[in-house]
Amino acid sequence: MQKKRVLITRRLPAEAEARANRDYEIVQNEDDHQMTADEIIEKAADVDAIMITITDKMPKAVVDRIPEHIKILSTYSIGFDHIDLKAAADRGIKVGNAPHGVTLATAEIAMLLLLGAARRAGEGERMLRSKSWPGWAPLQLVGQRLDGKKLGIFGFGKIGRALAKMAGAFDMEIHYHDIARAKPEDENGATYHETLDSLLGVSQFFSINAPATDQTRYFFNKDAISKMPEGAIVVNTARGDLVNDEDMIAALKSGRLGAAGLDVFNGEPKINEGYYNLPNTFLLPHLGSAAIEARNQMGFEALDNIDAAFAGKDMPFKLN
């Protein structure tokens, strides 16, 4: 039996690629460049399914150009704000994501950002790499400990709950807000806030773990910052467009925010220039899921969707 042909828009880790090549004839992006929409549509002409990533934008104008015979689209990501799901549904295209592989890896990066921002790790590394460290001094790069501090988590899904567990081991006091209260066994002692404003008001540390929606985009702005304790520290491992960059940068410059740890940015990889010279920022290049275990599992989950769809079954991680 001839294998189905699947277009995969970026290179995957070895184990995920091995499974893909075992089960399908793969049309691959050999040099792993960022494909344009035109390239994807051109290469899709003679395949049976497409696997994309978060950097492959699929608005209605692109979805409508997908060849008529293709009814399977799987994204190698937990997020799906890069896909117009309604346009896909209108075309009869099944869409799935890869929601579980990223959980622990992203929570680990959020924890790293909390520690790095609080303990001024970015400033310390820059001092060493520029060969400007004068040696130990009592007041040099003094930050703050995490224990006993209130951590507000906005978005208490799998990643938010995993972060809560990790931060709890550092004796942080966990608070959270989500559209619905979690089950008691998932709260694990965390304090629920019915409103985001209430959560902001207690958050000495604040972690953004919410999805990007019409309701959440740019929510973290001057108004939100004004409701937080003076000198609060914020970290973001969710999406860059949840933050108003100009308001964040102004608050970091003035000291209204004490520090920020950021792994995602609006418009990445071209980020707001204002971040580069801020000493009180700990910046990472979207490393949230960049653990080999996570990236392989993401590939497996994206392939699970394709397997199921070809078998005439519901995708295990379907979005529409």
Q: Which residues are catalytic?
A: 239, 268, 286
Which residues are CB-neighbours of 45 under 8 A, at least 6 positions away?
67
User: Helices 158-169 & 103-118, crossing angle to 10 degrees?
Assistant: 50
**Phi and psi at residue 67, to the nearest 5°:** -50, 145
Closest CA to 76 of 300, 292, 269: 300
**Which three-class secondary structure state does DSSP give residue 112?**
helix
Q: Is the backbone of residue 312 left (phi > 0), alpha (psi -120 to 50) or beta?
A: left
Amino acid (1-letter code) at residue 133: W
Amino acid (1-letter code) at residue 263: D
- Please name the residue ranges forming H helices in the chain: 14-23, 37-43, 60-63, 85-90, 103-118, 121-129, 158-169, 184-187, 196-202, 222-226, 245-254, 292-310
User: Helices 14-23 & 292-310, crossing angle to 10 degrees?
Assistant: 20
Query: Residue with structure tokens 């108003």?
Result: 244
Query: Residue with structure tokens 């003076």?
Result: 230
Amino acid (1-letter code) at residue 54: I
Paired residues of 235 in beta bridges: 207, 261
Cα separations (Å) of 50 from 1, 44, 305? 20, 7, 11
Q: How far apart are CA 223 and CA 210, in angstroms?
A: 18
Does a cis peptide bond (omega within 30 degrees of 0) precede residue 134? no
